């Protein structure tokens, strides 16, 4: 078990470009979450998958954001037409059904800088 892996660790992109991040959860975890963390703030929930189904989305997830988990394993988060306000750390977490009361396992995050 290598924990939750996120790739890339850092991404610098020009405003208006599209970016895609990948998350590989702990293999036996069927639930996967995306959060966004801006400087000086706590993580904010973006979306949640159970297996391949996206079951919950935050209002923060605008039309420019899309997330997938096609085979119920890894997930991708795509941001289209990036804006400077999208600059943040994007965190992925995973858990098993019924263990939410025991906390999630977070990855180290992808830091996005939009210039």
Partner 1 sequence: GNSVTQMEGPVTLSEEAFLTINCTYTATGYPSLFWYVQYPGEGLQLLLKATKADDKGSNKGFEATYRKETTSFHLEKGSVQVSDSAVYFCALHSGAGSYQLTFGKGTKLSVIP
**Which residues lie near partner 1 (CB under 8 A)?**
4, 31, 33, 35, 40-45, 48, 55-56, 58, 91, 93, 100-109
Minimum CB distance to partner 1, residue 97 (Å): 10
Q: What is the DSSP string of 2-64?
A: ---EEE-SEEEE-TT--EEEEEE--TT--EEEEEEE-TTS--EEEEEEETTEEEEE-TTS-TT
Q: Min. distance of Cβ 28 from partner 1 in angstroms?
A: 17
* Residues 6 or more apart in contact with residue 70 via CB below 8 angstroms: 52
Per the listing, tokens 């996967």 go with 32
Residue 70 has what DSSP assignment?
T
43/114 with CB nearer partner 1: 43
Name the residue nearer to partner 1 (CB basis): 47 or 82.
Answer: 47
Least CB distance to partner 1 at residue 83 (A)? 23
CB of 37 to partner 1, least distance (A): 9
CB nearer partner 1, residue 72 or residue 80: 72
Closest by CA to 85, choosing from 6, 22, 16, is: 16
Nearer to partner 1, 44 or 52 (CB): 44
């Amino acid at each position: 078990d290598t924990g939750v892996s996120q790739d890339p660790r850092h991404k610098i992109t020009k405003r208006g470009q599209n970016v895609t991040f990948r998350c590989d959860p702990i293999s036996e975890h069927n639930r996967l979450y995306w959060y966004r963390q801006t400087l000086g703030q706590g993580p904010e929930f973006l979306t949640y998958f159970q297996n391949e189904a996206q079951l919950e989305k935050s209002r923060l997830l605008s039309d420019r954001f899309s997330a997938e988990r096609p085979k119920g394993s890894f997930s991708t988060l795509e941001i289209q037409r990036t804006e400077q306000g999208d600059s943040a750390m994007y965190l992925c977490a995973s858990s098993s059904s019924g263990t939410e009361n025991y906390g999630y396992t977070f990855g180290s995050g992808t830091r996005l800088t939009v210039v």
